[in-house]
Chains A and B, each alone.
Chain A
Amino acid sequence: MGSLFGDWPSFDPHNFSQLRPSDPSSPSRMTPATYHPTHSRTLPPPDQVITTDAKNILLRHIYQRAEEKDLRPKRAAPEHLVPEHGCKQPRASSSSC
């Protein structure tokens, strides 16, 4: 069979008969679309190192809350200060003060 899949078994011998094997010597006419960035705003800084935070998520939250409490002044603004970490969870009202 001259199909792309050679002599592989198939339920129906007419399956895949339309496909023709691609010639490995000639370059393929279909090149996949590639995208290039038009700006360099999103390049990472050259000294960026990505590591895993060894703290588990519970401790990370505890530390975040502690830092937020240090940052925010008491009853300053009605809306919460956006924490630097971009945490999306709504903060519960603090009753420990």
Chain B
Amino acid sequence: MFRSNNIVARIFQRQICTPAPGTSVHCARRFYENLVPSFTIYDVECPDHSFRKFTDDGQYLISFSRNNQDLIVYRPTWLSFSCKEEDCDAHDLPSKARRFESFFTQLYSVSLASCNEQICKDFFLYMDSNQYGIFATTSTVQSQEAPATGGAIPGFPSIEKITFHLLRLEDGVILDEKVFLNDFVNLVHNMGVFLYDDLLAIVSLRYQTVHILQIRDSGNLVDVRAIGAYCHEDDELFLNSNAQCMAFPDKSKLHQLPQNHVQNGLHHSQPNLEEFFLSGIKQRLLSFIFRRIWNEEKDRTLRVQCLKKKFYFHFQDYVDLIIWKVQFLDRHHLLIKFGSVEGVVQGARNADHYPAFFAVYNMETTEIVAFYQNSAEDLYHLFEQYCDHFHSTSRNSLYMNFISSHSNNIHALEQLRSIKNKASSSSQFVKKMLGSLPFSCQSQSPSPYFDQSLFRFDEKLISATDRHRQSTDHPIKFILRRPPYSLKFKIKLGPEAGSADGRTKKFSSFLFHPFLPLALSIQHTFLSSQPSVVNIHFRR
């Protein structure tokens, strides 16, 4: 759209040319090719906090104190000095400007964790419509192998107390809290919690329940439903009121089409089952699999054989599946990942060895809509074409719709295709790609510098996903995607001198402001005694 790379010429051209329909945001983002954070202040003197993230609307910088007890919130501002000389660019920055405080103003510091608790540094969710932030504190008392009592499944550690705090970030007032006792929620990188609009889904791995909460405008966390043992809100009431009518299931009914009511749940009456019924979500799952196999085969004898081979043979494996991770697809649908206990406990390390399944669950009708194995080509095609819809963002935050993914960006798609062509086995490739599902919430930065159609950069060294990466001495280059394909700016982690102790592994994390040409790069080692090095990259 722009004929020249000069910013003044582009501004003039913007006055007279209308962008093509539907591309106004993309055209506006092209100005980021001209305004880049090319100047770096190395090793800024800053308070010794662990800086977590810029909020997605760019209003706040979230950081936690070193002892993980306090939350400190800053407002990103900008330098405010003026230069009265003739040729300002040649002058160096005044030393007063080279401070952390020139860029960030501290708004407040709130103590979230009491003495025997600590804030989970990896967890933070932001609701930009009301500027609410969600933080988590956990008690330091954890038992690794907790006994399976009270409906809990064995194999997971048990944290004595997990508290989710809802804060108004404007002034730091704690609005509400939600406490989970003797439970385990995976808080690392927001994995066990998903925020969609005003709905929050928290996966309790120990009790195998998905708690759905609503964040109201008044600042209250309201329980909406708990999916796991029960699906409908009144299932528990129904079961309790019919307790005396519960008889042993009639064996002859096992081959009939099961209804979607809890009392006719499909299960074997094994005397060693602790509870009489399988959990509600498990029953939905098993009956869905049964009906799907049933509907596919019209011939009666073949149908029974098919059932034996595909359903009854694997019945115990299906029963042993547990909820691993959950995300919203829209307000009514959840994408649930099921896996075996060993697979979940080991995490992503040995993903290939353990089975994993995905189910799409409708919370309103309490029906499973679809069920896929993690090597399903069907699901992979949906993932390839509609990846953006898996990154379900709330309707309010439009800027989150422009994060580059292989469904909306040709360069990202080419990268995906090249990985696909290099993959030795198609099912391994599909498993690897689907392993990233369900996506974690708010894990990608909306900064236009990560837009693949504007800049090319090494994805292994830096990317929109906020993860700690291994530090490199080489600067990370951002190169234009469009002619003249020039290097626009570099993110360098430290001045030329390498570290004295070459063996210390350094990790770096990058915090990019959502829309200002401002970025923080933080280099730290695992030794907590060494403070981290913070660099500020901005457009001078």
A residues near B (Cβ < 8 Å) are: 55-59, 61-63, 65-66, 69-70, 73-74, 92-97
> Are A59 and B330 also in contact (CB < 8 A) when A66-B370, A92-B381, A94-B378 are?
yes
Pair B369/A63 contact, Cβ less than 8 Å: yes
* Cα A71 to Cα B85 with chains together (Å): 78
B377 within 8 A of A: yes
Across chains A and B, the number of contacting residue pairs, with CB separation under 8 Å, is 62
> Are A59 and B378 also in contact (CB < 8 A) when A66-B370, A73-B296 are?
no
List of 8 A-B pairs having minimum Cβ-Cβ separation, nearest first: A58-B389, A58-B386, A74-B296, A96-B376, A92-B381, A92-B377, A62-B370, A96-B372
Pair B330/A55 contact, Cβ less than 8 Å: yes
> Are A96 and B371 also in contact (CB < 8 A) when A58-B390, A65-B378 are?
yes
Residue of A nearest to B298 (CB): A73
B329 within 8 A of A: yes
In whole Å, how far is A2's beta carbon from the nearest beta carbon of chain B? 31
B residues near A (Cβ < 8 Å) are: 292-293, 295-298, 310, 329-330, 333, 360, 369-373, 375-382, 386, 389-390, 392
Chain A residues with CB below 8 A from B372, complex form: 96
Pair A96/B378 contact, Cβ less than 8 Å: yes
Pair B386/A61 contact, Cβ less than 8 Å: yes
Pair A61/B292 contact, Cβ less than 8 Å: no
> Are A57 and B296 also in contact (CB < 8 A) when A62-B382, A66-B370 are?
no
Pair A58/B329 contact, Cβ less than 8 Å: yes
Pair B369/A61 contact, Cβ less than 8 Å: no
> Are A74 and B297 also in contact (CB < 8 A) when A66-B369, A95-B375, A96-B373 are?
yes
Chain B residues with CB below 8 A from A66, complex form: 369-370
Other contacts beyond A62-B382, A95-B373, A96-B379: 9, CB < 8 A: A59-B329, A59-B330, A61-B386, A65-B370, A65-B378, A66-B370, A70-B295, A94-B377, A95-B375
Pair A95/B378 contact, Cβ less than 8 Å: yes
In whole Å, how far is B430's beta carbon from the nearest beta carbon of chain A? 9
* Cα A92 to Cα B292 with chains together (Å): 18
> Are A56 and B381 also in contact (CB < 8 A) when A95-B376, A97-B296 are?
no
Chain B residues with CB below 8 A from A61, complex form: 382, 386
* Cα A61 to Cα B390 with chains together (Å): 13
In whole Å, how far is B357's beta carbon from the nearest beta carbon of chain A? 9
Residue from B296, B333, B382 in contact with A69 in the complex, judged by beta carbons closer than 8 Å: B296
Chain B residues with CB below 8 A from A70, complex form: 295
* Cα A96 to Cα B292 with chains together (Å): 11
* Cα A70 to Cα B291 with chains together (Å): 9
Chain A residues with CB below 8 A from B373, complex form: 95-96
